[in-house]
Amino acid sequence: MKCCMDIKTLQRLIQAQNLYVLQDTTAVVGDAALFHREDHRGYTTNLAEAHLFTLKEANLCHFERKTDKPHRLGDLIVLSGLSVDVGVLGGSQAQNSRDFESIRFVDNDDEPERPGPR
């Protein structure tokens, strides 16, 4: 199981145009969206553990189950780091007014990730 990604891997994923994740819009964990886990083994709030789909695969899944919403992985990483505030996705009325903190990714392994400005 993947627990962390280095900055080079994140940069490649951000730039990838055809990598998607599926959000299960029927539930949230706290303020985090749920995504299909790698190899369809349940759900996760961690994008590093989410199953990666092509656009065609994601659209087929969405067609079969309308509550599974495709999102381009690179867009979510840029917005949120490795978890996604469901309010940013517009999935929960209770979360729509919430501000979210963006995470700044750093190259230096000694420097921790820090919340960005609000």
CA–CA distance, 94 with 80 (Å, rounded to integer):
19
Say what the pTM is: 0.59
In contact, 107 and 8? CB cutoff 8 Å: no
Task: Tell whether the model's pLDDT for residue 70 goes beyond 70.
Answer: yes
Residue 118 belongs to a domain? no
In contact, 14 and 78? CB cutoff 8 Å: yes
Question: Residue 3's pLDDT is what?
Answer: 54
CA–CA distance, 115 with 13 (Å, rounded to integer):
21
Residue 42 belongs to a domain? yes
| Number of domains making up the chain | 1
CA–CA distance, 83 with 45 (Å, rounded to integer):
6
Residue 81 belongs to a domain? yes
Residue 25 belongs to a domain? yes
Residue 112 belongs to a domain? no
Residue 117 belongs to a domain? no
23-37, 53-67, 91-105: the lowest-pLDDT one? 91-105
Residues of the domain holding 47: 7-107
Residue 1 belongs to a domain? no
